[in-house]
Amino acid sequence: MRTSDPRVVVGLDNGGTANNATLLDASRRFLVDRLVETPSRVLEGPKVAVEALAEAMENVLALTGTDPGRVAAVGLDTPGPASAQGVISSRGATNFSAPAWRGYDFRGAFEERIGLPVIYNNDGNAAALYAHHAYFGPEEAVLHSSVSAIVGTGLGGGVIVEGQVVKGAAGMAGELGHVFIPMDGLIGEGQSVPGCNCGFVGDVESVASLTGIEKNLLPYWLTRYPDHELARAESIRKAAKLVRGYGERGDPLALQLFEQQAMALGRLFTIAANFSDPDAYFVGGGVVEAAPHFRDWFLTKVREHTQLRAEQEAVVHFALVPDLDMAGSRGAAIAALETLPPL
């Protein structure tokens, strides 16, 4: 694309409390280098939330002094489950609890509201797309493939092939959290096989997520360390949030717990290696938003537990998902930019 191309795209990351907005120009330069947040108001239902998205867009344009006439498309991402076209699941979704959200065409409604093309991705896929482009750069991105795993409340992420998000027939590709992994040698002595909110037993998210820590890992490790300070926390939910701080300080319980998470991600990446042999594996989320020594330890452990062939070892990259709080909006913007026809 020529640098004289005046077009810009807006990226909007729709979260439970805030919309995070960014702006990308046609030369692939982000015009915003920080979080630009406005209330998402998703709890107030779809109509209010669509208006809130429009406000988020107007706000980032005003903030950067950008003429709204230059906006050629908008990228939108939300947490799932939703279809590839941005229709919220008919069974509802955590962030979209009001009945009016069920089966709601969020992307379509927003597109109608603003009269511009809106390109949808789920938040895991958008962050994966940003990680991929940030790592390889705009020129090289199309030459490479990657798998991103982002450890949050659940386990999100995405699969990128030749610079593009793999969405799948129903929009459900890249649901890495619900891939089964072998539990043999991962779970400790007397530890039961962990269950996931999705109903599966022994998938990646059942171990590698905050929910997994709270429901599965921490209750087990506290039986092994009954005198641990975390056993006296007000609730298991609070204790689960504190465990990363213990990991940073080298606490043995926390390190064993996080090694289980690293092993789960390594086993997921081993499956990916045999499935599509990507160039790069990216890890993101709270566990790597930690002190550098702990973050590096975790990434090293993930790599140790990823079994690659010698030919793969020679070319593979392991890295962190950068700028995690902005990765969704930035990935959404990249996806929108890629849909623009040449001028």
Q: Given the complex with Zn ion, which of 13 and 205 has the nearer CB atom?
A: 205
Residues 129-158 within binding reach of Zn ion (CB under 5 A) = none
Instruction: Rank residues 15 and 202 by Cβ distance to Zn ion and give the closer one.
Output: 202
207 versus 336: smaller Cβ distance to Zn ion: 207
Residue 320 sits in the site that holds Zn ion (CB under 5 A): no
Smallest gap from Cβ 186 to Zn ion, in A, equals 15
Single residue of 30, 180, 200, 318 touching Zn ion by CB under 5 A: 200
CB of 159 to Zn ion, least distance (A): 17
Question: Which of 75, 81 has the CB closer to Zn ion?
Answer: 81
**Nearest residue (CB) to Zn ion, 7 versus 178:** 178
Nearest to 15 by CA among 133, 123, 92: 123
- For the bound state, the minimum distance from the C-beta of residue 93 to Zn ion, rounded and expressed in Å, comes to 15
Q: Is 196 in the site for Zn ion (CB under 5 A)?
A: yes
Pick the binder of Zn ion from 205, 214, 279, 338 (CB under 5 A): 205
295 lies in the binding site for Zn ion (CB under 5 A): no
Q: Which is nearer to Zn ion, 203 or 338 (CB)?
A: 203
> Which region, judged by CB under 5 A, interacts with Zn ion, from 69-77, 200-208, 220-228, 237-245?
200-208
178 lies in the binding site for Zn ion (CB under 5 A)? yes
Binds Zn ion (CB under 5 A): choice among 25, 175, 203, 338: 203
Shortest distance (Å) from residue 206 CB to Zn ion = 6
What is the contact surface with Zn ion in residues (CB under 5 A)?
A: 178, 196, 198, 200, 203, 205
